[in-house]
Every structure is written in structure tokens, then in C-alpha cells.
Amino acid sequence: MRILHLLNHIQEIGNGIVNVAIDISCLQAKAGHQVAVASAGGEFEVLLAKYGVQHFVLNQARNPINLIKATRYYREIVREFQPDIVHAQMMTGVVLARLLKPGFNYALISTVHNEFQRSAVLMGLADRVIAISNAVALSMMRRGIPKSKISLVYNGTLGSPRTRNISEYEPLSLQRPAIATVAGMYHRKGIAELINAFSKIAANFPELHLYLVGNGPDKLTFETQAQNTPFSNRIHFEGFQPEPQKYLLSCDIFVLASHQEPFGLVLSEAREAGCAIVATNVDGIPEALDNGKAGILVPPQDSCALANALFNLLNSSELLEKWRKQAQTNLDWLNVSRVNRETLAVYEEAIANLK
């Protein structure tokens, strides 16, 4: 197959959508398919070239002048590459590929990641829509996308071409016990609730530290919140880290406190690292944690419930060890090779329907 992936960029900044697309692009090329990525570019160009994936420059920034240019460049790319499949991971790419499809014989595939965004309904313009969790699939059906058009392909990052084997990472010397999250600094990620929960239990555990790994537009707000607690010296803002595995291997508890979360890619990495996990019972998170078998689920936007779960884990080494072991069971389905295999099956079905 000739496969063209459309992305806004391929920067190495911890963007889960980009990471998933890079993973499957590399594996598809490794399997012998002709693969290209069209984007505004970024650090992952080096990795793509290593796997023989061609990169086309396509700036999809949403302003009128640039979109006119993008229309022309997209046509040129498709004429040159002649894809059987165009796989768009973001809204602008789906719209562009659908509007310019007449005259070309490709199947258009979209993957819905952030289904909570209003614009996510436009992902339904594709011939086939990949949902990354059952929660996403149900949400898209509620928005009017036919069930027959939707394919469920769970996310997964283990065995990624972007990373090394987990055993090759050197754990950091964190101050312990340590709680960590790896997330964008957005209100949606529940960072405020995590800081509140930490503040509720910090006095009970004088050696406890909190590590917040990630960047984002709301970081300054969270830093101010942390400074206004009596425990600001134990709350660490680490910024974006290209190798978050070093934190995952070092912390005692991993938390993902999102208000909305289609899947939560980092959960697969936290599970592989053997973290005891506490996460919110929302959207695709329960699915990523084997419906609560691999991590403790708490209500979203509830810092008291989060604090209680953290307190119980920190107060019992036996309980902590139990959840560490639970996290590492049943990991095979989170491997990126399975994601790629199921994605290729969606492609084949879409191509068959064109004939």
C-alpha cells in the first residue's frame, strides 16, 4: 500500500496524536509499505528518514492565505505520491483531504483522539473513522457518525520506534516517596486537583514529593497555586521531558487526574514501568486500565477522593506493591505492533470498498 499520513507537525513535544502517527508510520514502512508524512515538520523527521518514510512539507495553519497555499501543495503531494490511503489524525487534514478528494482514488481514514472538541465531528468526513477507545466510538455515534463507519483500534505505545526498551532507561534519583504525573499543563488534565490532593496529605508524609512533568499554557497558574500551599518546596515542575520513562521508573505512584481523556497514552507507559496508578474514572481511562484491574479509579474533579486514594497507598506498603504488580499484568494488548496491525486492517477494508 501507499500510505500518506497528514499531521499539523511532527515535533517532539509530547503530543500523543503525533506520537501515535509516528509509531505506525515507521512500522508500516518497516513492513514494506510505501509511507509518507505531510506536515509542517519537526524533530521526528530524523526518525522517519531512518525508517524510509518520506516527508513532505505541508503547513496547515488555519489562516486564509496559508490554507490557499496548503490546497495547492496538498494536490501536488497527492499527484506525486499517489496514495492508496490518506490517514488524517487532525481536523484540518481531514477537511483538506475530503474537499480535494475528487479526481484522486484514495480512501480517507481519520483517527479521532480528542473527541470532546466540538470540531471532532468533522473527523466523520472520512470514509472510515478510527476510534481510540470504546468511549470515543460511543461519543462519535452520539454525534451522528454511523456505527458502520467506525472502527475501534485501541491506542498503545509499548514497543514504540520512538523509545528504547524500558530496561535501558536509568531511573532518576527522585526524593521519595514520590508522586508523579506526565501530562500537558492544561486544566483538562486535572493538575489543580492533583496539587490540592497533594496538599491534603503532605503533612501526613513529611518526605512526600510531587513531580509534574509537562508543559502547557496553564503552567503558570498551577505554579502560582503550588506556591500558595505550605508545601511548595515539595512540588516540582519539571517541564517537558523527552524521556518520561525515567520519572515513571522512579516514582511510587503515577496519577492521571484528567477531566476528559479519550484514552491516556501515558497510562500504558506507567503500567510498563510498574507504577501504582491512580486515575480518574472518565472516558477511555478505565479501558486503558483494564476497567480498574490495573489501577485505582477515582471520580474526576474530586481532590478529596484523589487524596484518599493516595493516602491509602502511601499508608500501606503491601497495598502499594499490590497495585504495582497489577499495573504490569496484561500488557501485550498495549503494544504498538497491535495498533499498527489493526490499523492496516482498516485500510484494507476501506480500499476494498472503493472498488
Dump pLDDT digits (tens) for 15-27. 999 999 999 999 9
Tell me: pLDDT of 268 over 70. yes
Residues 210 and 276 in one domain: yes
Burial of 280 (0-12, 13-18, 19+ CB in 10 A): buried
CATH assignment at residue 75:
3.40.50.2000
Neighbours of 283 (CB within 10 A): 24
Is the residue at 161 inside a domain? no
> Phi and psi for 207 in degrees, rounded to 5?
-95, 0
Residues 65 and 34 in one domain: yes
Which of 16-30, 91-105, 111-125, 151-165 is least confident? 111-125
Local confidence band at 11 (pLDDT 50, 70, 90 cut-offs): very high
Residues 297 and 238 in one domain: yes
Residues 330 and 347 in one domain: no
Which of 63-72, 86-95, 193-202, 267-276 is least confident? 63-72
Residues 192 and 244 in one domain: yes
Query: Could you report the per-residue pLDDT of 110-136, keeping only the tens digit for each?
Result: 999 888 888 889 999 999 999 999 999
Residues 120 and 83 in one domain: yes
User: Which pLDDT value is given to residue 355?
Assistant: 67
Is the residue at 78 inside a domain? yes
Query: Which pTM was predicted?
Result: 0.93
Based on the structure, what is the number of domains in the chain?
Answer: 2
User: Which pLDDT value is given to residue 116?
Assistant: 83
Is the residue at 106 inside a domain? yes
User: Which pLDDT value is given to residue 129?
Assistant: 97
Neighbours of 170 (CB within 10 A): 10
Tell me: pLDDT of 255 over 70. yes
Is the residue at 75 inside a domain? yes
Residues 123 and 174 in one domain: no
Is the residue at 37 inside a domain? yes
* Nearest alpha carbon to residue 106 among 126, 123, 121, 132: 126
Residues 221 and 296 in one domain: yes
- Which DSSP helix (H) or strand (E) runs through 140? helix 134-142
Is the residue at 89 inside a domain? yes
What is the residue type of 169?
A: Y
C-alpha radius of gyration, the chain, whole number: 21
Is the residue at 87 inside a domain? yes
User: Which pLDDT value is given to residue 305?
Assistant: 98
Give the residue numbers spanning the domain of 51. 2-156+335-354
Average of per-residue pLDDT values in the chain: 96
User: Which pLDDT value is given to residue 207?
Assistant: 97
Residues 225 and 116 in one domain: no
Is the residue at 145 inside a domain? yes
Residues 89 and 208 in one domain: no
Residues 106 and 245 in one domain: no
User: Which pLDDT value is given to residue 64?
Assistant: 81
Tell me: pLDDT of 61 over 90. no
What is the residue type of 127?
A: D
User: Which pLDDT value is given to residue 234?
Assistant: 98
- The contacts of residue 180 (CB under 8 Å, 6+ apart) are 174, 210, 211, 212, 213, 247, 248, 250, 251, 253, 254, 255, 275
**209, 174 contact by CB (below 8 A):** yes
User: Which pLDDT value is given to residue 115?
Assistant: 82
Residues 195 and 121 in one domain: no
User: Which pLDDT value is given to residue 353?
Assistant: 87
The x, y and z cell numbers of residue 211, run together, are: 513531580
Mean pLDDT of 258-275: 96
Tell me: pLDDT of 37 over 80. yes
